[in-house]
């Protein structure tokens, strides 16, 4: 028994354990999701994060130790973002025709995401630094953290809010769109809405729907990163001026 | 496969360099994505190997967000007391953004189709 414990103490400090655990837990969460007919609440990212947080607490492991292993998975986010160009190119013939509708929908969605978070948060009594951390929540983590820092928010809090926004979008967007009457054939609008409002996690959810939805989600995510980086400092300056 | 991995990393690196040099407010990989898109548009085709590797990577995009998501464990102190409010804000705001984006896009496309026909 104590020998086993020693092996654990050794392994727990190596990257291999937490890398393996991350992939295994995600694999199991994904299988569960498929077996339960893709029930929205069983979103694989949500379940995997909850289970892993539980494991880290139970084994008294620091996030830094965990991340030494998990960083190998985390690193792939960069090349995967670049790879989004491939499905996007597959939709290139449609992009040309859809430029104006996409542009207007992007602006409408981006402004809604920023202003509604600010407005509802302010009504519910959140403090200024939390509100500033909240405004860029719909864009991909590195951009959101940069914006938050620029306007005096808390970048690390922003990172958490970004991930929670992504999970919220991945879990609730499809049921909402279904309620609004969007069917399987509306992959373009559903995908674009997921990418604009819930960045990469929304894009991952859109890819589970179809490659077309994923392509438009990737486009929405990329464009909204650009727009939000311009929009949020402007909104912040406006509010300070008022 | 190695060729495609080199290609993706190369475009990511090119994106990082471009963003730093031009002082753009976008992350390097997003700039890399746009550059690869332009390269594919010039070439007018996606090499089969590139399509296979890219789609394989994107099929499991969700996994790649798990390590960052677990990072919430490092912020429990800051979230104490305000997390129910934050959840309400995030859910309401995200749903509003989803609905507005989708409805705007499909309404404009309907208009466009009607105008075109």
Q: What is the DSSP string of chain A?
A: -HHHHHHHHHHHTSHHHHHHHHHHHHHHHHHHHHHTTT-GGG-HHHHHHHHHHHHHHHTT--HHHHHHHHHHHHHTHHHHHHHTHHHHHHTHHHHHHHHHHHHHHHHHHHHHHHHHHHHHHHHTT--HHHHHHHTTTTS-HHHHHHHHHHTT--HHHHHHHHHHHHHHHHHHHHHHHHHTT--TT-HHHHHHHHHHHHHHHHHHHHHHH-HHHHHHHHHHHHHHHHHHHHHHHHHHHHHHH-
Handedness of CA A95, A100, A105, A108 (dihedral sign): positive
A193 with B15: Cβ contact below 8 A:
no
Q: Which residue has the tokens 């300056």?
A: A237
Q: What is the ipTM for the molecules in this complex?
A: 0.90
Task: Give the tens place of pLDDT for each residue, A86-100.
Answer: 988 988 888 888 999
Task: Give the tens place of pLDDT for each residue, B6-65.
Answer: 999 999 999 999 989 998 767 788 889 889 999 999 998 899 999 999 999 888 888 998
A101 token code pair: 């509708």
Contact B28, A145 (CB under 8 A): no
User: Looking at CA atoms only, how far is residue A165 from chain B in angstroms?
Assistant: 6
Q: Shortest CB distance from A121 goes to which of B41, B89, B100?
A: B89
Contact A152, A129 (CB under 8 A): yes
Residue B117 is predicted with a pLDDT of 55
Task: Give the tens place of pLDDT for each residue, A156-205.
Answer: 889 889 999 999 999 999 999 999 999 988 999 999 999 999 999 999 99
A196 with B50: Cβ contact below 8 A:
no
Contact A219, A192 (CB under 8 A): yes
Q: Shortest CB distance from B95 goes to which of A124, A125, A176?
A: A176
- Mean pLDDT value of segment A35-44: 88
Residue B60 is predicted with a pLDDT of 85
A79 with B9: Cβ contact below 8 A:
yes
Q: Three-state secondary structure along chain B?
A: CHHHHHHHHHHHHHHHHHHHHHCCCCCHHHHHHHHHHHHHHHHCCCCHHHHHHHHHHHHCHHHHHHHHHHHHHHHHHHHCCCHHHHHHHHHHHHHHHHHHHHHHHHHHHHHHHHHHC
A137 token code pair: 């929540």
* Least confident window among A1-10, A71-80, A222-231, B97-106: A1-10
pLDDT band at B116 (very low <50, low <70, confident <90, very high): low
Kindly report whether the global pTM for this prediction surpasses the value 0.90.
no
B2 token code pair: 């190695």
Q: Which residue has the higher pLDDT, A145 or B17?
A: B17
Residue to test with chain A: of B8, B10, B47, B102, most A Cβ within 10 A: B102
């Amino acid at each position: 028994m104590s020998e086993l414990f020693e092996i654990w103490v050794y392994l727990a400090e190596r990257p291999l354990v937490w890398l393996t655990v991350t992939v295994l837990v995600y694999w199991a969460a994904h299988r569960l999701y498929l077996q339960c007919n893709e029930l929205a609440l069983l979103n694989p990212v949500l379940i995997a994060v909850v289970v892993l947080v539980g494991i880290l607490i139970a084994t008294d492991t620091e996030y830094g130790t965990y991340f030494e292993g998990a960083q190998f998975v985390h690193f792939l986010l960069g090349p995967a973002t670049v790879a989004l160009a491939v499905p996007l190119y597959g939709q290139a013939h449609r992009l040309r025709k859809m430029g104006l509708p996409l542009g207007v929908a992007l602006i409408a969605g981006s402004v809604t995401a920023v202003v509604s978070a600010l407005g509802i948060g302010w009504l519910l009594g959140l403090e200024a630094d939390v509100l500033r951390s909240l405004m860029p929540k719909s864009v991909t983590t590195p951009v959101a953290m940069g914006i938050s820092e620029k306007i005096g928010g808390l970048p690390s809090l922003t990172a958490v809010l970004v991930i929670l926004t992504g999970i919220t979008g991945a879990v609730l967007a499809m049921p909402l769109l279904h309620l609004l009457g969007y069917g399987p054939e509306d992959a373009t609008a559903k995908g674009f809405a997921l990418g604009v409002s819930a960045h990469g996690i929304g894009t991952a959810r859109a890819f589970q729907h179809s490659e077309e939805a994923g392509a438009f989600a990737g486009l929405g995510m990329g464009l909204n990163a650009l727009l939000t980086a311009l929009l949020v400092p402007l909104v912040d300056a406006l509010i300070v001026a008022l | 496969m190695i060729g495609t991995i080199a290609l993706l990393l190369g475009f990511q690196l090119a994106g990082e360099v471009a963003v730093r040099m031009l002082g753009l407010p976008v992350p390097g990989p997003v700039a890399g994505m746009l550059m690869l898109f332009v390269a594919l548009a010039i070439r007018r085709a996606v090499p089969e190997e590139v399509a296979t590797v890219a789609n394989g990577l994107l099929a499991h995009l969700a996994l790649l967000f798990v390590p960052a998501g677990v990072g919430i464990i490092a912020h429990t102190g800051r979230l104490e007391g305000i997390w129910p409010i934050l959840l309400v804000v995030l859910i309401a705001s995200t749903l509003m953004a989803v609905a507005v984006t989708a409805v705007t896009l499909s309404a404009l496309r309907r208009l466009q189709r009607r105008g075109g026909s």
